[in-house]
Chains A and B, each alone.
Chain A
Amino acid sequence: MKKFDKDKVLLAIAGPALALVSAFLLTMIVLAASGVDPIDPLRVMIDQASYEDVQVLILNQAGIYYLAALAVAIGFRMNLFNIGVDGQYRLAAMISAVVGASVSLPGPLHVALIVLVAMVTGAFWSGIAGVLKAKRGVSEVVSTIMLNAIATALIAWLILPKNLGVQPPGSNDLTTGDIPESGWFPALTIGDGLEVYGFTFVAFALGVVYWFVLNRTRFGFDLRATGASESAAQASGVDAKKMIMTSMLISGAVAGLAGMPLLLGESHTYNLSFPVGIGFTGITIALLGRNSPIGIFFAALLIAFIDKASAGLDTAGYAKEIGTIMQGLIVIAVVVSYELVRRYGIRRQQQKVGQELAAGHALKTDNKEVAA
Chain B
Amino acid sequence: MRRITRIATVGIASAALALSATACGGKKSSDSTASSSESSSSSKSAAIAYDIGGRGDQSFNDAAFAGLEKAQKDLKIKGAEAEPSEGESEADKVQRLTELARKGNNPVIGVGFAYAPAIKKVAAKFPNTTFGLIDDTSVQDKNIANLVFNEEQGSYLAGVAAAKASKSGKVGFIGGVEVPLIKKFEAGFTQGVKDTNPNAEVLSAYLTQPPDFSGFAKPDLGKATAQGQLAKGADVIYAAAGLAGSGAIEATATAGKWAIGVDSDQYNQAGLSKYKDKILTSVTKDVQDSVYNLIKSVEDGKPQTGEIRYGLDKDGVGLADSNPAYKQMTDVTAAVEKAKADIIAKKITVKTAP
Query: Interface residues, chain A, CB within 8 Å of chain B?
Result: 48, 50-57, 59-61, 64, 90, 152-153, 155-157, 159, 167-174, 188, 190-191, 193, 196, 201, 204, 207-208, 211, 216, 262, 266-267, 271-278, 281, 293-294, 297-298, 301, 307-308, 310-312, 314-315, 320, 323
Please name all residues of chain B whose beta carbon is closer than 8 Å to the beta carbon of A267 when the two chains form the complex. 89-90, 117
Q: Are B113 and A90 in contact (CB under 8 A)?
A: no
Given contact pairs A315-B82, A320-B83, A152 touches B28 in the complex (Cβ within 8 A): no
Would you mind naming 6 contact pairs between A and B with Cβ atoms under 8 Å apart? A60-B91, A171-B113, A171-B116, A173-B138, A272-B114, A277-B86
Interface segment among B6-14, B159-167, B262-270, B282-290: the answer is B6-14
Q: Are B95 and A314 in contact (CB under 8 A)?
A: no
B82 touching A314, Cβ below 8 Å = yes
B25 at the interface (CB under 8 A from A): yes
- Collect the chain B residues with CB atoms within 8 Å of residue A314's CB: 81-83
Least distance between B187 CB and chain A CB atoms (Å): 13
Contacting B138 at CB < 8 Å: which of A152, A171, A297?
A171
Q: Enumerate chain A residues within 8 angstroms of B27, measured Cβ to Cβ.
A: 50-52
- Provide the bound-state CA to CA distance between A169 and B28, in Å: 35
Q: Is the CB of B95 within 8 A of A55?
A: no
Given contacts A172-B180, A193-B125, A320-B83, contact A51 B28 (CB under 8 A): yes
- Chain B residues positioned under 8 Å from A297 (CB to CB): 10, 13-14
Asked whether B29 lies within 8 Å of A156 as measured between CB atoms, the reply is no
User: Counting CB contacts under 8 A, is B324 at the interface?
Assistant: no
Q: In the complex, which residues 98-139 of chain B have their Cβ closer than 8 Å to any Cβ of chain A?
A: 98-99, 113-114, 116-117, 125, 135-139
Q: How far is the CB of A95 from chain B (nearest CB, A)?
A: 15
Q: Are B89 and A266 in contact (CB under 8 A)?
A: yes
A201 and B98 alpha carbons, distance in the complex (Å): 25
| Chain B residues, CB < 8 A from A262 | 89-91
Say whether B29 contacts A171, CB under 8 Å: no
Q: Is B335 an interface residue (CB 8 A)?
A: no
Q: Which residues of B contact A52 (CB under 8 A)?
A: 21, 24-28
A171 touches B136 (CB 8 A): yes
Contacts A156-B178, A170-B136, A311-B96 given; 20 further ones with Cβ under 8 A?
A: A51-B28, A52-B24, A52-B26, A59-B18, A60-B91, A64-B89, A90-B211, A167-B180, A170-B137, A170-B148, A171-B116, A171-B136, A172-B136, A174-B210, A191-B26, A208-B10, A273-B211, A297-B10, A312-B29, A314-B81
**Measured between C-beta atoms, what is the minimum distance from B82 to chain A in Å?**
6
Set of chain B residues within 8 Å of A50, measured between Cβ atoms: 24, 27
Inter-chain contacts of B26 with A (CB < 8 A): 52, 191
Which B-chain residue is minimally distant from A273 (CB atoms)?
B114
Residues of A within 8 A of B344 (CB): none
> Is the CB of B300 closer than 8 A to any CB of chain A?
no
Most buried by A among B21, B135, B146, B211: B211
A301's closest neighbor in chain B, by CB? Answer: B17
| Residue from A55, A193, A281 in contact with B21 in the complex, judged by beta carbons closer than 8 Å | A55
B75 interface residue (CB < 8 Å to A):
no
Contact status of A274 and B14, CB under 8 A, knowing A51-B29, A266-B90: no
Measured CB to CB, the closest approach of chain A to B53, in angstroms, equals 13
Residues of chain A contacted by B113 (CB below 8 angstroms) = 171-173
A13 CB, nearest partner CB in chain B, Å? 13
Q: Which of A53, A170, A172, A274 has the most CB of B within 10 A?
A: A172
Given A262-B90, A276-B212, A315-B82, A294 contacting B9 (CB threshold 8 A): yes
Tell me the complex Cα distance, A293–B6, Å: 10
Cβ distance B180 to chain A, nearest Cβ, rounded Å: 5
B86 partner residues in chain A, CB cutoff 8 A: 276-277
Rounded to whole angstroms, the CA-CA distance of A298 and B11 in the bound complex is 13
Contact B210 A156 (CB under 8 A): yes
Is B179 among interface residues, defined by CB-CB distance under 8 A? yes
Which of chain A's residues have a CB closer than 8 A to the CB of B138? Answer: 168-171, 173
Contact B90 A320 (CB under 8 A): no
Given A53-B29, A170-B146, does the pair A275, B89 have CB atoms closer than 8 Å? yes
A308 cross-chain contacts in B, Cβ below 8 A: 92
Tell me the bound Cα distance from A277 to B209 in angstroms: 15
Q: Which of B177-209 contact A (CB under 8 A)?
A: 178-181, 209
Q: Is B20's CB within 8 Å of the partner chain A?
A: yes
* Contact among B21, B85, B181, B211 for A311, CB-based, below 8 A: B85
List the B side residues contacting A61 at CB < 8 Å.
89, 91
Give the 5 A-B residue pairs with the shortest CB-CB distance, closest first. A170-B137, A171-B138, A156-B209, A51-B29, A172-B113
B13 close to A294 (CB less than 8 A): yes
In this complex, the member of B17, B82, B181 whose beta carbon has the largest number of chain A beta carbons within 10 angstroms is B17
Q: Does B73 contact A (CB under 8 A)?
A: no
Report Cα–Cα, A204/B80, bound state, in Å: 37
Q: Taking the complex as formed, is B87 at the interface, i.e. its CB lies under 8 A from any CB of chain A?
A: yes
Cα–Cα, bound, A57→B91 (Å): 7
